[in-house]
Amino acid sequence: MTIEYHPDLLFADLVDTLGRDHLVLLDLLISNESEFSPTILLLSETQMLDYFMRYLRRLSTRWGISKRKLQADERLEGVMSVLIRTRLEIDRLVAAELFPYGAGPLTRRLLAIEQLYEDSGDDDAEQL
């Protein structure tokens, strides 16, 4: 039996491991500490940010494939919910001048994915 590791399902696993809590994901992006827990090795801030940006880039450039893979596994809405809530929280922190680094590239990428998600919802509605 061959096990296939698909990047979208691995990210969905991360989201599930974090309890689908956008604040935990955000903490991983801005915390400068590394921790180990029995279920997951929590990366340093820069490693997590690098992984997150790479995944978001992949998600946006391969949206159709990623969307179908996550939908087939019934995980698209959960992942998108966390991504959207993460962006909203980053926007709130930036407005309050509490975000520790320039969030422009991150929020632009998240907004682009959110737009793809909303547009694909319109496409799905038209097919009905």
The two tokens of residue 72 are 């087939």
pLDDT of res. 43: 61
Q: Report the mean per-residue pLDDT for the chain.
A: 88
pLDDT of res. 5: 87
Does the reported pTM lie above 0.95? no
Distance CA 86, CA 22 (A): 5
**In the chain, where are the structural domains located?**
7-127
Mean of pLDDT values over 82-105: 97
pLDDT of res. 119: 96
pLDDT band at 33 (very low <50, low <70, confident <90, very high): low
Judge whether 30 and 99 are in contact, CB under 8 Å.
yes
Distance CA 7, CA 79 (A): 13
Q: In this predicted model, what pLDDT tens digit does every residue of 34-88 receive, in sequence order? A: 554 544 555 676 889 999 999 999 999 999 999 999 999 999 999 999 999 999 9
Helices (H), 1-128: 7-17, 22-30, 45-61, 63-72, 76-95, 104-127
